[in-house]
Structure 1
Amino acid sequence: MNVSEDTVELQNEVLENEIKALWVFAYGSLCWKPGFKFHKAVTGHVKGYQRRFWQGNTTHRGTEEKPGRVATLVEDYKGVVHGIAFAISGEEAISYLSKRECLLGGYISQFSTFYPIKGEPFKVLAYVATPKNPLWMGEADDRDIAHQIIDCSGPSGHNIEYLVRLANFMREHFSDEHDPHLFSLEKEVLDLVNKNNMCLETLMGNGEGCVSFIRKDLFESESQAVQDEDRIESFEHSTRMEEKILRCLNI
C-alpha cells in the first residue's frame, strides 16, 4: 500500500438507528477518494442505473482544452450499480460535496434507494450528471472514450488514474459482479498504455488522499495475526484525520 493511502474499516451491517443519518452513495472517485469526514462506510448497490463514463471534467481530470471522462449514473430500469454508502456528518461534508460534485463537476443531487450487503434498504443521496449540464459528453464507443482518457489529465491527476482505481476498487470489493462498460474501458486504456509505452506507475500518481477499505469481518478475523500498524488502522482513527480529508478537493 502506498504510504500516502489510509486504511479504514468497511462495515457492511447497518443498524436501524443509523439509517436516520444522511447517507451518500459513492460509485466513482468517492469510492477511493471520499475527501470528507464520515461515520461509516457500507458496500451495496442501487437499482435502476448503469455506470457510464459520459460526463466530462475540466477541473480535476482534464482541462478546458482537453476535458477528461468521469463516471455518472444513467437510468436503466434493469441496471444495478455497486458502490459504497457513506454516513456523513456535519455541514462541512455537505458543503464540500456540493462544491466538488455540483459546482465543479456539473452533477445534480437526487435520492435513491441503497441495498446494503446486510440489512434493510435505505435512502441515499446520489450525485448524477444529466445531458442538461454543459460538461455532458454522452455516449461514445469504448475505444474512442479510451483514447480520450489516455490523453487527459488535470490538477488532480491523470484521467487514467481515475479509471484504473475505480476498476480495482470494484474487483476488490465486488469480485462476483461484472461491470462491462468499466472493465471494457480499462482494458482498452491499458492496451493503449502498453502500445504507447506509457509508464502506468507515473500515471497513477502518488496516491495522496486515497483510502483503502478493509472489511470489518476480515479486519476482526485477521487483526491478531497482522502486526503492520498501517493495516490495522481503525475506523475511529480515520475520522480523526479531519484536516487532511476535508481540504482535499480531488475527484
Structure 2
Amino acid sequence: MEAGLWIFGYGSLCWHPGFEFEKSLTGFVKGFGRRFWQGNTTHRGTKDKPGRVATLVEDKDGIVYGRAFEVKGEAALPYLERRECTLGGYLSILTHFHSRDGTRNFPVLVYIATNLNQHWLGEAPLHSIARQITECSGPSGHNVEYLLRLADFMHHHLPEAHDEHLFTLEILVRARIKELNLCLRTLMGNREFHIEITEDDINPADNEHDDENNMLRQDSFQYISRVPPKTLRCLKM
C-alpha cells in the first residue's frame, strides 16, 4: 500500500491539477463511467449558460482512466475543497486506484457529482452535449478547452484507454467547430500546461508512437483522433 494521501483526477485535474504534489501516476479506477453530466457555472460556464464537465457515475463493469496524485503540503485539500466542492458541487468519496502496469493498488480520494447537487444537468443526447460545450465559457476558459485537453491527455498518456463517451464528444465538438468556422486557438486560450508524470510510470512502448503523434499535432490541442474510418463516416465528418 502506498503511503500518504492520493487524489484521483479524471477531468481537468489530469492536465491542470493546480496544487503541489510529490508524484503522479497514470492508471484507473473500477466500477465507474465518465460522463459529461455535471453542470458548471463558475469555471466553464455561467449561471445563464452552464457548461458541462465530467463526473463519475456508477457502472459495475466500468473502468475510468486518469491520473493519481500524492498530495504535498497542507494547501492541496483546502484548494480542492473550494475548487471541486464549494464551486463545483462535487462531493468526495474513497475508492481504489490501480496503476497502469497493474502492480499497485491503493486507496484514493475522488471528487464526484451526483444528481442531488444544484448544478446537475444529467443525461442528454451526445449531439446536444457537444453543442452546449461549444457554446459555453466561464472564468477559467472555454468549455471546449476542458473537453479537448482531457481528450488530448488520454490520447497522449493513456493511448490504450477506451472511453466512448469522451472520444465521441471530442469528435462531435471538433466537427461543430469546423462547421461554425470557429478559431480553435482562441477557444483553447492559446496556452500550454506542463504535465509531469512520474518516470517509473511511463511505458517504454509509448515512445514508439512519439514521432507519429508529433506529426499529428502541431500543438497539444490539435490532436487528430485515430478513429476508425467507419465511425467518422457515420458522424459525417
TM-score range, shorter chain: 0.7 to 0.9
TM-score (normalised: structure 2): 0.82
> In structure 2, what is the equivalent of residue 121 of structure 1?
105
Looking at structure 2, the residues matched to 147 and 64 of structure 1 have their Cα atoms a distance apart, in angstroms, of 17
> In structure 1, what is the equivalent of residue 161 of structure 2?
177
Looking at structure 1, the residues matched to 134 and 151 of structure 2 have their Cα atoms a distance apart, in angstroms, of 15
For the residue of structure 1 that corresponds to 2:191, the secondary structure is: coil
Looking at structure 2, the residues matched to 195 and 206 of structure 1 have their Cα atoms a distance apart, in angstroms, of 21
RMSD over aligned Cα, in angstroms?
A: 1.7
Q: Which of 50, 67, 78 is the matching residue for 2:61?
A: 78
Structure 1 residue 178, shift from structure 2 partner = 1.4
Instruction: Give the AA of the match of 1:86.
Output: F
Residues 14 and 66, structure 2, Cα contact 8 Å, conserved in 1: yes
For the residue of structure 1 that corresponds to 2:196, the secondary structure is: strand
Q: Which of 43, 48, 66 is the matching residue for 1:65?
A: 48
Q: Which of 115, 120, 123 is the matching residue for 1:131?
A: 115
Q: Which of 177, 188, 196 is the matching residue for 1:193?
A: 177
Looking at structure 1, the residues matched to 21 and 198 of structure 2 have their Cα atoms a distance apart, in angstroms, of 16
For the residue of structure 1 that corresponds to 2:77, the secondary structure is: helix
> In structure 2, what is the equivalent of residue 231 of structure 1?
none
Looking at structure 2, the residues matched to 32 and 153 of structure 1 have their Cα atoms a distance apart, in angstroms, of 18
> In structure 2, what is the equivalent of residue 98 of structure 1?
81
Deviations 1:134-155 (A, max 9, x none): 0000000100000100110001
CA pair 218-52 structure 1, distance change in 2 beyond 3 A:
closer
> In structure 1, what is the equivalent of residue 26 of structure 2?
43
CA pair 129-218 structure 1, distance change in 2 beyond 3 A:
closer
Looking at structure 1, the residues matched to 197 and 90 of structure 2 have their Cα atoms a distance apart, in angstroms, of 29
Runs (5+) with no aligned partner, structure 1: 1-15, 222-251
Count, aligned residues: 203
Structure 1 residue 213, shift from structure 2 partner = 3.3
Q: Which of 184, 194, 202 is the matching residue for 2:186?
A: 202
For the residue of structure 1 that corresponds to 2:74, the secondary structure is: helix
Looking at structure 2, the residues matched to 207 and 216 of structure 1 have their Cα atoms a distance apart, in angstroms, of 25
Instruction: Give the AA of the match of 1:137.
Output: L
Structure 1 residue 183, shift from structure 2 partner = 0.5
Structure with the larger RCO, 1 or 2 (CA within 8 Å, 6+ apart): 1
Question: What are the within-5 Å matches in structure 2 for residues 207-226 of structure 1?
Answer: 207=191, 210-213=193-196, 216=199
For the residue of structure 2 that corresponds to 1:168, the secondary structure is: helix
Structure 1 residue 214, shift from structure 2 partner = 5.0
Looking at structure 1, the residues matched to 86 and 44 of structure 2 have their Cα atoms a distance apart, in angstroms, of 15
Looking at structure 2, the residues matched to 20 and 214 of structure 1 have their Cα atoms a distance apart, in angstroms, of 18
Deviations 1:12-36 (A, max 9, x none): xxxx5xx120000000000000000
Q: 4+ runs of 1 displaced by more than 4 Å? A: none
Query: Is 1:142–2:141 an aligned residue pair?
Result: no
Structure 1 residue 174, shift from structure 2 partner = 1.3
Looking at structure 2, the residues matched to 74 and 214 of structure 1 have their Cα atoms a distance apart, in angstroms, of 26
Looking at structure 1, the residues matched to 196 and 32 of structure 2 have their Cα atoms a distance apart, in angstroms, of 24
Looking at structure 1, the residues matched to 135 and 201 of structure 2 have their Cα atoms a distance apart, in angstroms, of 39
CA pair 48-167 structure 1, distance change in 2 beyond 3 A:
same
Residues 99 and 105, structure 2, Cα contact 8 Å, conserved in 1: yes
